Amino acid sequence: MAEIIINKKNFEEEVLKSDKPVLIDFWASWCRPCSMLSPVISEIAKEYEGEIKVGKVNVDEEMELAFEFKVASIPMLVVIKDGKVINTSVGVQPKQQIVSMFKDK
């Protein structure tokens, strides 16, 4: 399963009401580090399908969500479980470190 595009309209259903942890990638098309991280996020989405949900939020299109999560730098990753933020990271991270954000919780 590919990543889900998260926006204000589907945020509650896809993220807050999810029965699985949700890894959200806040990104922008002009962001080079985001482009470097994108294939890693796609890989994680495929490898952990059924275990987690992976979503992407374009900060240029979803400024309200970016503001709500206090996104100051991108890429920013947020893990939400049972409607609550359980982990965040900013910048390009190695795959294993990203996986540990939702595996160790």
Rounded CA separation 62/104 (Å): 29
Tokens of 24: 């959200």
Q: Is 50 a catalytic residue?
A: no
Tokens of 68: 């709500």
Identify the active-site residue in 22, 23, 34, 37. 34
The backbone region for 87, taken as left when phi is positive above 0, alpha when psi lies in -120 to 50, beta otherwise, is: beta
Identify the active-site residue in 28, 31, 86, 99. 31
Q: Is 31 a catalytic residue?
A: yes
Catalytically active residues are 31, 34
